[in-house]
Amino acid sequence: MGFNIAKTDKKRVVIIGGGFGGLKLANKLKGSNFQVVLIDKNNFHQFPPLLYQVASSGLEPGSIIFPFRKIFQKQKDFYFRMAEVKAVIAERNLIETSIGELSYDYLVIASGTITNFFGNKTIEEKALPMKTIQEALELRNTLLSNFEKATISTDPEEKQALMNVVIVGGGATGVEVSGVLAEMKRFVMPKDYPDLKQSDMNIYLIEGSPRLLGVMSTEASENAEKFLKEMGVNIILNKRVTDYQ
Ligand SMILES: Cc1cc2nc3c(=O)[nH]c(=O)nc-3n(C[C@H](O)[C@H](O)[C@H](O)COP(=O)(O)OP(=O)(O)OC[C@H]3O[C@@H](n4cnc5c(N)ncnc54)[C@H](O)[C@@H]3O)c2cc1C
């Protein structure tokens, strides 16, 4: 295996990651005097702001992922390769990937971030994060399969456990997810799951700091708290989740 990209007189720019950053740069380099190689472990770009809609079945995955090959169909001296980058050997201007090595003149690392579990190993192993389309789908499948199990459960305690959702972290993602789940409880559940009692589904949003949306204005925090409470979300502030069983 290898990249199968010919060396030309042009300098080669290798971009790792076709997220917002990598995609923008690759687009900007259109018509430039560089050979551009975009590498991503997926062959599609994903749009994180709408992941919560996929997680709650409001949108299908195809609505928020876009194939790189389609985006760059007409770009000259451009190569997309689906591969996972494993290492950068800066002194040799070389990267190591799942499909082999590639040399570069300029390297741009736009590989994004990973979910921060704040050192909590159990939560890292057991919880469902939501940073990729795969994770959003896992969340969606878990929610829907729990509702199916709750429909046939005759044990009230088990039913409750299957329907309770705890969201840890009151940043933008936690606020979005709890809001959309509250909508699901209110509008989807009565129609799609008529055997389940709406009041059996409890949504908890737990935040370690004194307010939701800590990086935004206090007005935004107050509004988010007010609206979510009105939608029936149980908000717990100033409490950190320390473990999970
Ligand atoms: C749920 C959620 C909602 C969000 N909502 C908003 C919003 O409403 N507005 C807003 O402005 N921002 C929002 N953000 C933040 C925004 O998505 C990020 O700031 C942005 O995606 C960062 O861009 P990036 O290019 O740095 O990385 P990313 O977009 O994360 O892209 C990284 C890319 O690198 C690839 N990659 C990673 N490692 C490797 C590797 N080793 N080899 C090959 N490829 C690799 C990945 O597959 C991915 O395609 C949200 C984020 C999340 C998770």
The set of residues, in sequence order, having a beta carbon less than 8 Å from that of 105 and lying 6+ positions away, is: 11, 12, 13, 93
The CA 243 to ligand 1 mean position distance, Å, reads: 27
Q: pLDDT band at residue 28, thresholds of 50, 70 and 90?
A: very high
The set of residues, in sequence order, having a beta carbon less than 8 Å from that of 35 and lying 6+ positions away, is: 5, 8, 10, 11, 12, 13, 77, 78, 79
Hey, do 11-109 and 121-236 end up sharing a CATH topology, with the first three levels equal? yes
Alpha-carbon distance of 244 to 121, in angstroms, equals 10
171 lines ligand 1 (CB under 6 A): no
How far does the chain reach from its first CA to its final CA, in angstroms? 44
Position in ligand 1 atom list of the atom nearest CA 86: 41
For 163, the enclosing helix (H) or strand (E) is helix 156-163
Q: Which CATH number fits domain 121-236: 3.40.50.2020, 3.40.50.300, 3.50.50.60, 3.40.50.1970?
A: 3.50.50.60
Q: Which two tokens stand for residue 16?
A: 């790792």
130 lines ligand 1 (CB under 6 A): yes
pLDDT tens digit sequence for 31-55? 999 999 999 999 999 999 999 999 9
15 lines ligand 1 (CB under 6 A): no
Write down the pLDDT at residue 77: 95
21 lines ligand 1 (CB under 6 A): yes
pLDDT tens digit sequence for 62-116? 999 999 999 999 899 999 999 999 999 999 999 999 999 999 999 999 999 999 8
Q: Write down the residue that tokens 């050997």 correspond to.
A: 89
Task: Decide if 15 contacts 112 (C-beta within 8 A).
Answer: no
Residue 109 CB coordination number (10 Å) = 14
176: annotated active-site residue = yes
48 lines ligand 1 (CB under 6 A): yes
pLDDT tens digit sequence for 211-233? 999 999 999 999 999 999 999 99
3-state secondary structure of 67: strand
Write down the pLDDT at residue 1: 79
pLDDT tens digit sequence for 132-175? 999 999 999 999 999 999 999 999 999 999 999 999 999 999 99
Q: pLDDT band at residue 245, thresholds of 50, 70 and 90?
A: confident
Q: How many helices (H) and strands (E) does the chain have?
A: 9, 12
Q: Whose CA is nearest to atom 30 of ligand 1?
A: 112
Distances in whole angstroms, Cα of residue 108 to Cα of each of 4, 39, 85, 116:
20, 10, 12, 23
Domain 11-109, what architecture?
Answer: 3-Layer(bba) Sandwich (3.50)
Domain boundaries, given as residue ranges, for the chain:
11-109, 121-236
Position in ligand 1 atom list of the atom nearest CA 22: 25
Q: Which of 84, 176, 219, 225 is catalytic?
A: 176
